[in-house]
Structure 1
Amino acid sequence: MTTLVASDLDRTLIYSAAALGLTAPDAEAPRLLCVEVYESRPLSYLTETAAGLLAELARETLFVPTTTRTREQYRRIRLPVPTPGYAICANGGHLLVDGVADEEWNRSVRSRLDSECAPLAEVSAHLRTTADPAWLLKERVAEELFAYLVVDRAELPASWLKSTAAWADERGWTVSLQGRKVYAVPRPLTKSAAMREVARRAGADTALAAGDSLLDADLLLAADHAWRPGHGELAEEGWTAPGLTVLPERGVAAGEEILRRLLSAARGGRED
């Protein structure tokens, strides 16, 4: 039997300093392991306990990192496990096999987007021209697949987000706010489609998943069982679904608990 574990990374397994959510006195804080450096500065962490759990999980299951990050952004992460046999990047647009992008998979994804959605150029232009410089910090296109804005969230008008989401929906795209980023993603570009492809190739019998954002919802729905933390977009929406366990933990403690639950489920529910 092969158990596939597809997990989101940012704010699910790994956390920036701002997202750690540490609540204990400093002297009682968990020891942290840095797993990402950006521009020579530490950026992302998990607890040392979580690192040990992840190592066990990767030994006992088919662990598949599943992220909206681009391939370049994903490759900055140094998880305490051997290079995964499969990794899903760009929200399902790229499938890495032993660290190398599967170009055939990417071509099949692009073909579907071309036939079912408005062009990326149209959507990114709309974001750029309707955004107000008063709250727009950066505008980016990721892997020529989707677009996102980095914004001053405190100044971002809810009315702009609502009207932009409605405009995009008519064109086959979804818009979501995650932290300081507003993502515009083609509706068929999903983590779940890539997860199903990995499951098919690997002959997996069971799929487990974890995630915190709206872009993870389809992944969680596609799994046999899934977990989400007590923070993030899904928590703010009160989102739930059959087969989903909602955890009360928030921040880096949630990442540790998610790994504990994934490992227990992979072992048939045993707590070792």
Structure 2
Amino acid sequence: MTVEHIDGQPAAFCTVRAAKLIAWLAAAATLVPVTTRTRAQYERIDLGVRPKFAITTNGGQLLVDGCPDEDWAALVRARIDTQAGPLADVQAVAERLAADGWVRVSRVAEGLFVYLVAHERGAVPDLRGVAADLAADGWRLSVQGRKVYLLPAVLTKEAALVEVMRRAGAAALAAAGDSLLDRGMLAAAELAVRPAHGELHESGWTWPNL
């Protein structure tokens, strides 16, 4: 079944069984979609449920009943302002990388981080030197398939999940993910699940709760 449309065209899918399991999970627990997608990109998705809480933009946005929590957004931006270098400097780094010709798309996500999309996965160069330079300025670089993310180190999914758990009165967290940016969230959970494919699987990532 289709779960996402882009410009009116089907773009993402899940099995009917998966959709039923999502509905069951939403009824049995506090289901919290968590994504690096921007709010607009997340809102293209329809999983057949309406969770009270959702986390987008890698923790930069906390949606409550579909509306952004402005207090959380302000707190996140304050943390970034005090613990990471200017976004403009990172944009300049992204522009230099794009000038090498391997970048198809370069975007700023809600004024919080930058991501690049390569023409093809094999075209992404060795970026370890760039990552080290960014780390010294409070930023991190994550390569995931054709995408390269440049994010403030303090911008994390797990920080937003701690806030959701506080508001929901939740005592335990189970989390699932396949992205390298999910590692902190999975490590913080009592029970963590990852599929046998994707970046975490390819990197051999594991944890005692996995």
Alignment TM-score, normalising by the size of structure 2: 0.97
Mean alpha-carbon deviation: is it higher for 93-102 or for 126-135? 126-135
1:120 matched residue in structure 2: 87
Per-residue deviation, 1:242: 1.6
Percent of pairs identical after alignment? 52
Residue 68 of structure 1, aligned match among 7, 16, 36: 36
Distance 2:97 2:19 in 1: 43
1:226 matched residue in structure 2: 192
Q: Aligned ranges for residues 23-172 of structure 1 at < 5 Å?
A: 33-81=1-49, 83-152=50-119, 153-158=121-126, 161-172=127-138
- Structure 2 unaligned residues grouped into runs of 5+: none
Distance 2:178 2:137 in 1: 25
Distance 1:129 1:53 in 2: 45
Distance 1:95 1:145 in 2: 14
Higher relative contact order (Cα pairs below 8 Å, separated by 6+ residues): 1
Q: Specify the code of the residue in structure 2 equivalent to 1:218.
A: G
Q: Aligned ranges for residues 212-223 of structure 1 at < 5 Å?
A: 212-223=178-189
Q: How large is the Cα RMSD of the aligned pairs?
A: 1.0
Distance 1:48 1:101 in 2: 30
Please state whether the residue corresponding to 2:31 is helix, strand or coil. Answer: strand
Alpha-carbon contact 2:172-2:190 (below 8 Å) kept: yes
Distance 1:143 1:120 in 2: 11
Per-residue deviation, 1:172: 1.1
Task: Describe the superposition over 1:164-216 as per-residue Cα deviations: whole angstroms up to 9, x where unpaired.
Answer: 11111111111111121100111110000100100001100111001111110
Q: Specify the code of the residue in structure 1 equivalent to 2:24.
A: E
Alignment TM-score, normalising by the size of structure 1: 0.75
1:197 matched residue in structure 2: 163
Q: Specify the code of the residue in structure 2 equivalent to 1:198.
A: V
Count of residues paired in the alignment: 209
Distance 2:86 2:163 in 1: 25
Per-residue deviation, 1:133: 4.1
Task: Describe the superposition over 1:127-152 as per-residue Cα deviations: whole angstroms up to 9, x where unpaired.
Answer: 21233442111110001000001112
Please state whether the residue corresponding to 1:157 is helix, strand or coil. Answer: coil
Please state whether the residue corresponding to 1:63 is helix, strand or coil. Answer: coil
Please state whether the residue corresponding to 2:76 is helix, strand or coil. Answer: helix
